[in-house]
Amino acid sequence: MNVLLWLAAILLTLMILIGGKKGRRSFFAIFLNFGVLLFTIFIMTIPQADPIILTLIASTVISCINLFYINEVNSTTITAFISTIITVVILLFFIMIVTENAMIQGFGEEEVEELSIFSLYIGIDFVKIAASVIIMSTIGAITDTAIAISSPMREMFLHHPSISRKDLFAFGISIGKDILGTSTNTLFFAFFGSYLALLIWFKDLTYSVGEIVNSKIFSAEMITIFCAGIGVALIIPITAWINAYFVVKRRENKAS
């Protein structure tokens, strides 16, 4: 407990020293997002609740916290929020199809022994749960990419107010190209960092490469990474187009 408090204090101090007011808000946003996730998980245990609808609501709330609470309400965060919601809705339909056909829902063989004492007849659609898990794993990367594109595009417009919609869109895409590689690699290494013990266990069990790739746990995590990467790639043109459209549209309205 003391270690957790010390680490939290160090993190808060560094975030305030480096980020100032936004750093302090970012620190408290971590706990707000954690509370949203816990509340969503609690509601998901109710058999009548629809995990997909709950995921959309939770993603909306998390996006509001990460965008509006930390960066306040402005044209940058509004366009980033709209882009995030559109991307999440598109990605959710895609993930539902992938999850159902890949059959990654439920638990893998490696988890059966620990769960054997529990009843799995809890009346919850595990296909929807698997899709919800992937979306929850993706929402952070999507909002980060959206704000990382919207903010420079706003600065570009402020310095070059006569820029055309096409050029502003191309500028947003060029930023997205720089972000895409680092974001997808971050997701990839996050998987190996969190599942390093599992990979070592696979080695101790003398799993072949084919058995590792076809195991449910490994496949589920790799599909999560790929879907998250697709979400990051998808939000780049969506954010660039929406931002370019609204910024130029506002300039045209002022001119008229």
Which of 6, 12, 9, 64 lies closest to 33 in space, CA to CA?
64
Is residue 249 very low, low, confident or very high in pLDDT (cuts 50, 70, 90)?
Answer: confident
Does residue 118 surpass a pLDDT of 60? no
pTM confidence score: 0.79
Model confidence over 13-49: pLDDT tens digits?
A: 888 898 788 888 888 888 888 888 888 888 877 777 7
Average pLDDT, the chain: 80
CB 137 within 8 Å of CB 252: no
Average pLDDT for residues 104-112, to the nearest whole number? Answer: 56
CB 67 within 8 Å of CB 176: no
- Token digits of residue 118: 């529990």
Which of 129, 26, 227, 2 lies closest to 11 in space, CA to CA?
26
* pLDDT score at 112: 56
* pLDDT score at 241: 92
- CA atoms of 45 and 124, how far apart (whole Å): 8
* pLDDT score at 206: 76
- CA atoms of 186 and 125, how far apart (whole Å): 30
* pLDDT score at 70: 84
87 three-state secondary structure: helix
Does residue 172 surpass a pLDDT of 60? yes
* pLDDT score at 104: 59
Does residue 171 surpass a pLDDT of 80? yes
142-167: buried (b, 16+ CB within 10 Å) or exposed (e) per residue? bbbbbbbbbbbbbebbeeeeebeeee
CB 125 within 8 Å of CB 51: yes
Does residue 111 surpass a pLDDT of 60? no
Does residue 88 surpass a pLDDT of 70? yes
Does residue 255 surpass a pLDDT of 70? no
Does residue 122 surpass a pLDDT of 70? no
159 vs 214: which has the higher pLDDT: 159
Average pLDDT for residues 225-254, to the nearest whole number? Answer: 84
Average pLDDT for residues 213-235, to the nearest whole number? Answer: 79
| Length, in residues, of the chain | 256
Is residue 8 very low, low, confident or very high in pLDDT (cuts 50, 70, 90)?
Answer: confident
Phi and psi dihedrals of 160, rounded to 5? -130, 75
- CA atoms of 1 and 29, how far apart (whole Å): 21
